[in-house]
């Protein structure tokens, strides 16, 4: 493992389960707290890319829907309504801290050929400008066949795209739990036993769960990027993990290549 001081570029994935912790409401206080943590890292010379879920949850809140739409058009409509509102809240949160943020909406196609390079150049330029890129899947136009299905896998691909040194996946869980419901602090190899510990989510506002987080961790570590799954509600968790990835949650150590 590289030393913490080398984690100059970090990707932070924020799950819908954090923002939609209360029925039909977005937890703006938590979002503001996350923005403050990221602001501290940026002002210390680190670079942070956010992969943020929440557009569909935000759209559900605006539309006063208690259950996630089951049909693709309903999901796309909720995303279209919620995405600009989500970004508006991010903009206000970072503006209070003297930072700019930028929106990028990606699909599978954007990781192919020239689109991949275009996205990479854009992100590198934004980071040089000390701007915080905020990435989400382009839910309003992606078809069911080509959707990522969750932003966990997207965050791993983004980490590779920007040559990040660390991927932090924040959720409402403390990490990967063993059979006794204790947090497994370190995973050096993702085995069948490790995968068996994951169970799908039952949240009404999001998809994914620990299964997709382990899949994302697999993608990251195969590319040589350590991945930490941690509880985003822990005070100062982003700064803690960015400074010492063994401090919170479960760390998946990278394959040595």
Residue 257, in any domain of the structure: no
Rounded CA separation 129/102 (Å): 11
Is residue 51 predicted with pLDDT exceeding 50? yes
Of the candidate ranges 10-14, 139-143, 151-155, 172-176, the one whose mean pLDDT is the lowest: 139-143
The pLDDT value recorded for residue 112 is: 78
pTM for the structure as a whole: 0.89
Q: Kindly report the CA angle at 111 between 106 and 115, in degrees rounded to 5? A: 85
Mean pLDDT value of segment 69-96: 90
Residue 82, in any domain of the structure: yes
What is the pairing mode between strands 250-252 and 186-187? parallel
The pLDDT value recorded for residue 30 is: 86
Residue 74, in any domain of the structure: yes
Asked if residues 221 and 246 have their Cβ atoms less than 8 Å apart, the reply is no
Q: Structural domain tally of the chain? A: 1
208: CB partners within 8 A, 6+ apart: 15, 149, 150, 151, 152, 201
How far, CA to CA in Å, does 129 sit from each of 100, 122, 124? 9, 11, 9
Mean pLDDT value of segment 26-44: 89
Residue 217, in any domain of the structure: yes
* Three-class SS state of 73: helix
**Alpha helices, DSSP H only, in 10-130?**
16-19, 28-43, 55-63, 72-95, 113-128
Q: What is the DSSP letter of 25?
A: B
The pLDDT value recorded for residue 4 is: 46
The pLDDT value recorded for residue 3 is: 47
What is the pairing mode between strands 132-137 and 186-187? unpaired
Residue 216, in any domain of the structure: yes
Beta bridge mates, 12: 50, 168
Beta bridge mates, 171: 231
Relative orientation angle of helices 151-161 and 113-128, to the nearest 10 degrees: 80
The 10s digit of each residue's pLDDT in 229-255 is: 999 999 999 999 998 999 999 999 997
Task: Report the percent of the chain where pLDDT is more than 70.
Answer: 86
The pLDDT value recorded for residue 199 is: 63
Residue 105, in any domain of the structure: yes
Range of the domain at 39: 4-252
Residue 66, in any domain of the structure: yes
Residue 98, in any domain of the structure: yes
The pLDDT value recorded for residue 247 is: 92
Q: How confident is the model at residue 257 (pLDDT cuts 50, 70, 90)?
A: low
Q: What is the CATH number of the domain that holds 174?
A: 3.40.1160.10
Q: How confident is the model at residue 207 (pLDDT cuts 50, 70, 90)?
A: very low
């Amino acid at each position: 493992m590289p030393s913490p001081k080398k984690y100059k570029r970090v990707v932070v994935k924020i799950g819908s389960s954090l923002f939609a912790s209360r029925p039909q409401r977005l937890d703006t206080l938590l979002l503001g707290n996350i923005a403050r943590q990221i602001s501290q890292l940026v002002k210390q010379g680190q670079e942070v890319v956010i992969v943020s879920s929440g557009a569909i949850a935000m759209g559900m809140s605006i539309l006063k829907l208690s259950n996630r739409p089951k049909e693709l058009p309903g999901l796309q409509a909720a995303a279209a309504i919620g995405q600009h509102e989500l970004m508006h809240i991010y903009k206000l949160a970072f503006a209070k801290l003297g930072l700019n943020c930028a929106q990028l909406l990606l699909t599978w196609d954007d990781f192919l050929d020239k689109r991949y390079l275009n996205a990479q150049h854009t992100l590198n330029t934004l980071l040089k400008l000390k701007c915080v890129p905020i990435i989400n899947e382009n839910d309003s136009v992606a078809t069911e066949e080509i959707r990522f299905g969750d932003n966990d896998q997207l965050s791993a691909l983004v980490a590779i795209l920007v040559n990040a040194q660390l991927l932090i996946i924040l959720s409402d869980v403390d990490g990967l739990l063993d059979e006794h419901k204790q947090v497994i602090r370190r995973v050096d190899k993702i085995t069948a036993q490790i995968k068996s510990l994951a169970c799908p989510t039952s949240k009404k506002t999001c998809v994914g769960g620990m299964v997709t987080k382990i899949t994302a961790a697999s993608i990251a570590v195969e590319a040589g990027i350590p991945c930490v799954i941690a509880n985003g509600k822990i005070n100062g968790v982003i700064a803690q993990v960015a400074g010492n990835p063994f401090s919170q949650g479960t760390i998946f150590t990278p394959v040595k290549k």
